[in-house]
Structures are given as C-alpha cells and as structure tokens.
Amino acid sequence: MAANFSNKLLLNIFTVAGTVADELGMECYAVGGFVRDIVLNRPSKDIDIMAVGSGIELATRIAQRMGFENKLVVYKNFGTAMFTMDDFVIEFVGARKESYRSDSRKPVVEDGTLLDDLSRRDFTINAMALCLNQNRFGELVDEFNGLVDIENKTLRTPLDPDITYSDDPLRMMRAIRFATQLNFTIEKDSLDAITRNAQRLKIISGERIADELNKIIEAPVPSVGFKLLFNTKLLHQFFPQMVALHGVDIIDGKGHKDNFYHTLQVLDNTAAMSNNLWLRWAAILHDIAKPPTKRFEPGIGWTFHGHEDKGARMVPKIFAQLKLPQNEKMKYVQKLVQLHLRPIVLAKSEVTDSAVRRLLFDAGDDVDDLMTLCHADITSKNEEKVKKYRNNFELVKLKLVEVEEKDKVRNWQPPITGEDIMKYFGLPPSREVGIIKTAIREAILEGEITSNYPEAFALMVAEGKKLGLRGEPRAEGREE
C-alpha cells in the first residue's frame, strides 16, 4: 500500500486544487522540493503543483475559485502560472518531458506523462509526488525510491547520472549543495559522473553557479561542500584561485600548512559564530594571495609577506569573475581581507593604545566582524598554542572596548577638515593640505593630542609654519 501524507496537506490550496482537477478530468500532484521537505519535516514556502494536462488552465480555474484572479501571473511561453498566498509561492505547470542539446541547459519541452515529468528531475528525493485528486488525496507516488534514499540520506539521480548531469550541468552544483545542506552522501556512481562531467559546467552562467555556491557557503558546515567541489574538479572550473591554495611544499625539511584546508577550517569556524554570508566570504578569501606571495627564505622558512595587501587587491577581480556584487559587500570583504592580520599581531604582543586606536580607525563599524574572522583564523593542532592566542585575543577585545569608550575612534571624523585648512591658509586643494591633515590624524591616533578642536587647530597652525605657510590672524578659526 502506498504511503499517504494527507495529514501534511493542510493548506486549503491542496483540497481546492484536487477538486478543480477532478472537475477538469485531469490528474493533479504536489511535486518536487515541497514533497521532499514534507518527508524531511523541513519548512517550505515554495509549492509546485503539476497537472497531467494544462497547468495554466488548472491555475486559472483555481485562482477564480479562491478569488486570486488579480494575483495570477501566467507565463504562456513556458506553460506555467503562479500566484502568492500568504507567505507561500504557488507555481503550476503541466507534466513535461524534455530533450537537450549539448551546448545548452535549456531543454526542448513537450507535454508528457507523470512518469516523464518525474524522471526528468535531478534527484530521486525531488522526484516524488503527492496526489491531490480526491479519491487518492495525499497518496505518495515514488517511482524512483526517493523515500528510501531519504531514509538512507543518499543523493541519487532518477536516470543515468551521466545523462542527468550532461543535460543540465547545474545539477552537479545542486547535488553538492543538497549534500551540504542536508548532510546527505552522494551515491558513488553519481559522484563519479560529476567528476567525468565537471567541464560541462562551462556552459552554465556565472550567476547560476554563484547562487548555488552561496547556498553551500550558507550551510551549517560549508567545508563539506567545498571538499566535494574540489574532489570532483568542479571548483577548478570557476574558482582556480582557491584551488591554488591546495598543497604543501617542502624545502630543507620545512613545509607550510595546506592553506586550502586551513581556509576551510577558518570558514567552518566563522560559520559557527555568524550567519553573515559576506563575513564567510572574507574567511574564504583571507589567505587567497598566499600562493603568489609564497617564498622560501633560508634560515627562516616559508613566508607570505604582503599576502593581506595583495589579497585585498584580488578581491574585486574574484568577485567580478564569480558574478558576485561589485558594491559595498565587495568593499566590506576587501576591507576584512586587508585587515585580517592586524588583531592577530596585537594578540602576539603587548597591546598599546596607539595600535588599538589605529585598528578602530581603520575597521570602523566592521571591527566586531573583523575580530570574529581573526578569532576563527586561530587554527593549530597545538591546543596550548590556540588557547594562548585566544586568551590574548580576549585581552585585545577588552582593550578595544576600553579605548573606544575613552577616545571614540570608531567612525572617527577629523576635528579639522580639508576645507578648514584651505580656508585658514588660503590654499587650493594641494599636497600641503594632505600633509597637514595626515599630521593631525597621526597625532590623534598616537595619543599626542586629543580629538578636540582647539588642540587640533593649534597643531594645524604649527604644521603650516613648518611648511612656510601663514594663515589668517584669528584666534580660533571656525566655531566648534
């Protein structure tokens, strides 16, 4: 006897869909990810309803019955329709069968049977259907044993995996995404097929790849996905800079850590502390410039001098390459990559107020995220070493709070502006203006003067005299 999930189909849309389908004399099913999530007891707001017949006709009749005519959106070219109901997005489609050309993931679509439709889906766990017709309401259709695969936590394709992945190579990224999100294992034949077809990913747009990649990064343990991407050679197709982190060189018996696996540890550590996608991207990219900056220095060993600066310069190019946003999110990641060594250096030595002021000044509102990243970056097999660094790190955090409360350096605005300097000395925009501004900023950050206007004004006058400048003979300049 087929399993029945009628007790999970509590929304009114399901009974209305079944009733209308009966009136039209067509079969009607809830399909795909919604059914998978019912079995897994996961929340889902996307509902796909499939008709063995015209999905548009079924959707139109249901929308009329439920008073949603004004919400119905019809896509005639695709044979689909959709409307929203409360927080749910409900999409309707007719059963289809598909055929593919080798140079595109866009199929040639024809009307098909229920079995045609289910067999074209990516994985058995997504190839299940729940009947909505009244006489079989809630009955599970599971031609490819998706229920067993869910119980075994296995990802498998309904048809030959080479055909499934070659037809639509994005399914390879989806396989790894589901394995990462659900903690499933990709069945061996399917995993081997991904490796064989990895180069087919080249026909997929960067935007679609980035969407799947970000979902992998947002998973609880994203390293699971990156190891699969690396081992199947998918990562090599779109992110060679990360692949270059892999491996260990040894000279004179001295080796460095494998920066690929170190990066994955930092990513997992970050994920355990924050859901911020772009902070996780900073974890991925924090050491991205270690391969091009790697040098072996006799008597010292391996060095990566300047990898934070070069890494920051690499961020915009990598974001463009991966079709990630070229906006403040990219600049945020770039800033964290640039600064990621600074708190760690402080944790190794005595923490001065001056160094803390500079860190607060440079990091601004992102200082807390920077500290999270740096905390995640402390990785070693030596537990005592890790414990020591993390204890020192707590001292740095306390010092940050203490100095910020005293000096208000985070998002600090200079008490003397460039306009003030130009007005007082009668200067146009020039090198001298920059020299005086820098001198005032450095004096404040070093603790030589406070951030109040009279002290900054006096220093401005003194610095101007050094440059041979004479200002307006007024006592205080502008009002505070």
pLDDT band at 354 (very low <50, low <70, confident <90, very high): confident
**186, 220, 238 — which closes off a domain?**
238
**407, 439, 457 — which closes off a domain?**
407
Q: Is residue 147 part of a domain?
A: yes
Q: Is residue 245 part of a domain?
A: no
Same domain, 181 and 132: no
Same domain, 26 and 132: yes
Q: What is the spatial distance between Cα 78 and Cα 98, in angstroms, rounded to a whole number?
A: 13
Asked if residue 1 has pLDDT above 70, the reply is: no
Whole-number pLDDT of residue 160: 95
pLDDT band at 393 (very low <50, low <70, confident <90, very high): confident
Q: Is residue 208 part of a domain?
A: yes
Region 459-474 average pLDDT? 80
Same domain, 402 and 434: no
Whole-number pLDDT of residue 107: 59
Same domain, 386 and 452: no
The range of the structural domain enclosing residue 195 comes to 162-238
Contacts for 419 with CB less than 8 Å, ≥ 6 apart: none
Count structural domains, the chain: 4
Whole-number pLDDT of residue 378: 82
Look-up: residue for tokens 């309401």? 137
Q: Is residue 145 part of a domain?
A: yes
Same domain, 13 and 64: yes
Measured at the CA of 242, the angle between CA 384 and CA 368, to 5 degrees, comes to 55
Q: Which residues pair with 140 in a beta bridge?
A: 130
In the chain, helix, strand, coil percent, each to 5? 55, 10, 30
Dump the DSSP string for 294-309: -EEETTTEEE-TTHHH
Same domain, 436 and 338: no
Same domain, 109 and 186: no
Instruction: Residue 132: give its domain's CATH number.
Output: 3.30.460.10
Whole-number pLDDT of residue 96: 86
**365, 384, 407 — which closes off a domain?**
407
Same domain, 319 and 181: no
Same domain, 10 and 143: yes
Same domain, 145 and 219: no
**pLDDT tens digits for 69-94?**
889 999 988 889 999 998 899 999 99
Q: What is the spatial distance between Cα 340 and Cα 390, in angstroms, rounded to a whole number?
A: 15
Burial profile 98-109: b = 16 or more Cβ within 10 angstroms, e = fewer = beeeeeebeeee
Region 98-113 average pLDDT? 65
**pLDDT tens digits for 216-247?**
999 999 999 999 999 999 999 999 999 999 99
Positive or negative: CA dihedral 317, 321, 327, 328? negative
Same domain, 423 and 365: no
* Average pLDDT taken over every residue of the chain: 88
Q: Which residue has the higher pLDDT, 260 or 378?
A: 260
Same domain, 284 and 302: yes
Region 134-159 average pLDDT? 96
Instruction: Residue 215: give its domain's CATH number.
Output: 1.10.110.30
